[in-house]
Structure 1
Amino acid sequence: MNMTTPQVARPEIVLDIAPPSESVAQRPLSTFDALYRHSGLRKVVILAVLAAIWELYGRWLDNALLFPTFLETVTAFVKGIADGVLLERAGVSLQVLLVAYGIGVTGAAVLTTVAISSRVGTDLLETLTSMFNPLPAIALLPLALIWFGLGTGSVIFVVVHSVLWAVALNTHGGFRAVSKTLRMVGQNYGLGNFALVGRILIPAAFPAILTGLKIGWAFAWRTLIAAELVFGVSSGKGGLGWFIFENRNQLETANVFAGLFFVILIGLVVENVLFAAIERRTIRRWGMQH
């Protein structure tokens, strides 16, 4: 005998879910959180803290000849800008730097293009970077003096050396990191070696290339200042390095710090304005960096 259990209707359970309140996502950010999101503002705060530490240490030491305070340095810096001396010296340094940096980047582009086009080129680049990249540019100063004399040519030579290998090494590393699939796509479209580099490899490896450009810039800037400290005068004109050297000889320590302050300021502007703008328009816009 078939007996079926009668189906008893169950009362539906209704959950009383409260409507979402003005939830966390909709809640406006506090003033602190809104300001904290700006990386530029965070960096300004860090610089302000460092300046305060500098000022406090200078006041505690109380020896302007040994370590001027931040306010004394800024006063000397403003005076140098108003007199036009610092701007003139910075113009001389930047002119030499741009020439040397351009030569170095062009040489790196040629070397990496040759390296990516053939195995012999790869061996050549790897051998040259292994030989010359560890060699400090400052060690070439005596040879530069013999070959190019006392002047701009010697400075350009050592700065090109500091730029060339750093940019070439990072660029070549970026090219080698590009997937074989992308290379095969370019080859299937009939791209030759140079077209493959320009249309496939450079966009795909641009984060590594930009890193190399940044490193090359930093090496070039510090090498230039060091070279000018030694033989930075040609035709009666010297750059920021020579300005620092002259004031050190005259025991004008505040001016020495003002020159160093200007070197740092130019470095900050290039890094956080020029390279940051390139990064926003390329890497971040292409979704290659968050």
Structure 2
Amino acid sequence: MQASTPAAYTLPDLAWLRKLGLLIAISVVWEGLAHWFDNDLLLPGAIQTAKAFGAGVASGELWGYISVSLGVLVQGFSLGVAGAFLLTWLAVSGKVGRELIDTLASMFNPLPAIALLPLALLWFGLGKGSLLMVLVHSVIWPLTLNATAGFRSVPDTLRMAGRNYGLGGLRMVLQILIPAALPSILSGLKIGWAFAWRTLIAAELVFGSTSGQGGLGWYIFQSRNELFTDKVFAGLAAVILIGLAVEHIVFQTLERLTIRRWGMQR
């Protein structure tokens, strides 16, 4: 009787350990460059930046700026998502709507959101409205294009299968079209979030505080004016960490619970 072959041993996924090692390597190189330049005003070291970051978090100063930026970001991103789904509905509703959205997207998608800031300041002044305008522009077009492409790529066989099961109208959209187009929709959300986050920081760098309350971009700008370069790097580190947190906690969780679980993505 032939002995059974033991199951192959699968190594655990050590992606987090590799990423941690990469961050440590970058920090070591950064610290070495800082010692080589030997000029804290030009390039503070990783340790000095970490101390400035920790001091800002411990004192609550950094949290205040972060909360202002995230509050504006959530509002602008939500408005952009709502507008994008409205435009997507127009694009998939018929030939006229598709041509209209294709034309508008070709006109406005290449236009950088920050280029609209002078108009936003003229129309809405130094307030939250200006930031919301540029944020909506940065979100609405990439999400509309991705969601529209996702709905257009749904195979006819899935549509016919839905009709065979008696689905139609809203039920067809919710149970067939949206799940099938979800990879493209999530991709558009990720692109829109990234565009909105960097647009917000850039806008805050341009005109600073909003209604007397400064965001993270204003913190970076103010620290640069006061020659606190370590705080500038601490603010940039906060921007990067928030981006990584949203990517891993929000979007990767959504992908794991939906499209990866359904076998639509490896």
Aligned counterpart, 1:238: 214
Query: Over aligned residues, Cα RMSD in angstroms?
Result: 1.6
**Alpha-carbon distance between aligned partners in 1 of 2:174 and 2:2, rounded to the nearest angstrom:** 58
Contact map agreement 2:126 2:211 (CA 8 A) in 1: no
Give the one of 139, 143, 150 matched to 2:119. Answer: 143
2:57 alignment partner AA: I
Give the structure 2 partner of residue 93 of structure 1: 69
Distance in 1 of aligned mates of 2:129 and 2:63 = 22
Moved more, 81-90 or 177-186: 177-186
CA distance in 2 between counterparts of 1:38 and 1:120 reads: 50
CA distance in 1 between counterparts of 2:104 and 2:56 reads 43
Q: Tell whether 2:168 aligns with 1:196.
A: no
Residue 234 of structure 1, CA deviation: 2.1
Matches of 2:38 and 2:75 in 1, distance apart? 42
Aligned to 2:201: 225
Q: Aligned letter for 1:191?
A: G
Indicate the residue corresponding to 2:32 in structure 1: 56
Contact 2:128/2:211 (8 A) holds in 1: no
Instruction: Assess if the C-alpha contact under 8 Å between 1:155 and 1:232 holds in 2.
Output: no
5 Å-filtered alignment, 1:57-206, equals 57-188=33-164, 189-192=166-169, 194-206=170-182
1:232 is displaced (CA, Å) by 3.4
Amino acid at match of 1:273: I
**Bigger radius of gyration:** 1
Quote how far apart the aligned CAs of 1:42 are: 2.1
In the alignment, the residues of structure 1 paired with residue 21 and residue 216 of structure 2 have an alpha-carbon distance, to the nearest angstrom, of 27
> 2:243 aligned with 1:264, yes or no?
no
1:210 Cα offset (Å):
0.6
Question: Paired residue for 1:6?
Answer: none
Q: What is the CA distance between 1:187 and its match in structure 2?
A: 4.0
Shift of 1:58: 1.3
Which structure 1 residue ranges, 5 or more long, are not aligned?
A: 1-16
Matched residues in 1 for 2:146 and 2:14: separation?
A: 29
**Percent of matched pairs sharing the same residue:** 56
Q: What SS does structure 1 have at the residue aligned with 2:116?
A: helix
Task: Tell me how far apart the structure 1 counterparts of residues 201 and 149 of structure 2 sit (CA, whole Å).
Answer: 29
- Alpha-carbon distance, 1:186 to partner: 3.1
Structure-1 separation of matches of 2:173 and 2:86? 11
Q: Distance in 1 between matches of 2:253 and 2:247?
A: 9
**How far apart, CA to CA, are the structure 1 residues paired with 2:83 and 2:174?**
16
Structure-2 separation of matches of 1:228 and 1:195? 43
Tell me the residue number matched to 1:14.
Answer: none
Q: Given the two structures, how large is their TM-score scaled by the length of structure 2?
A: 0.95
- Scaled by the length of structure 1, what TM-score is found? 0.87
Structure 2 distance, partners of 1:40, 1:178, is 35
5 Å-filtered alignment, 1:278-289, equals: 278-289=254-265
